[in-house]
Amino acid sequence: TQLLEQSPQFLSIQEGENLTVYCNSSSVFSSLQWYRQEPGEGPVLLVTVVTGGEVKKLKRLTFQFGDARKDSSLHITAAQPGDTGLYLCAGTGIQGAQKLVFGQGTRLTINP
């Protein structure tokens, strides 16, 4: 069974600070996605990374896929209250049916 571990599980910081969220596994994934979930809503896709070492930027958010495709990180620069939410990483295995495996999530709170 492929598992994804996210850290930290909870993070509360002040507006303007930088932060990094990690998504780690002992398994190799063919691709990795990051979703953001607001209270009372379903997750919404932020980015998909497919190549080892790939870096993608979405405004103040930077996503990186590890060289060995076993881990990923999400870095937020100058966090804003609107970044508050649950961030989920999800990976697609390299063998068998390509179902998504989700991490347990990082609940991020940005205080004004």
Phi, then psi, of 81 in degrees rounded to 5: -55, -30
Beta carbon of residue 95, minimum distance to another protein (angstroms, whole number): 12
Considering the complex, state which of residue 17 and residue 47 has its C-beta at the smaller distance from another protein: 47
Instruction: Please compute, for residue 66, the number of CA atoms within 13 A of its CA located in the half-sphere on the CB side.
Output: 15
Q: Which residues bind another protein (CB under 8 A)?
A: 4, 6, 9, 30-31, 33, 40-45, 48, 50, 88, 90, 92, 97-100, 102-105
Beta carbon of residue 67, minimum distance to another protein (angstroms, whole number): 19
Considering the complex, state which of residue 14 and residue 95 has its C-beta at the smaller distance from another protein: 95
Considering the complex, state which of residue 74 and residue 90 has its C-beta at the smaller distance from another protein: 90
CB neighbour class for 69 (10 Å; exposed up to 12, middle 13-18, buried from 19): buried
Spatial separation of the C-alpha atoms in residues 36 and 24, rounded to whole Å: 17
Beta carbon of residue 102, minimum distance to another protein (angstroms, whole number): 4
**Residue carrying the six token digits 């600070």:** 17
Beta carbon of residue 37, minimum distance to another protein (angstroms, whole number): 8
Considering the complex, state which of residue 3 and residue 78 has its C-beta at the smaller distance from another protein: 3
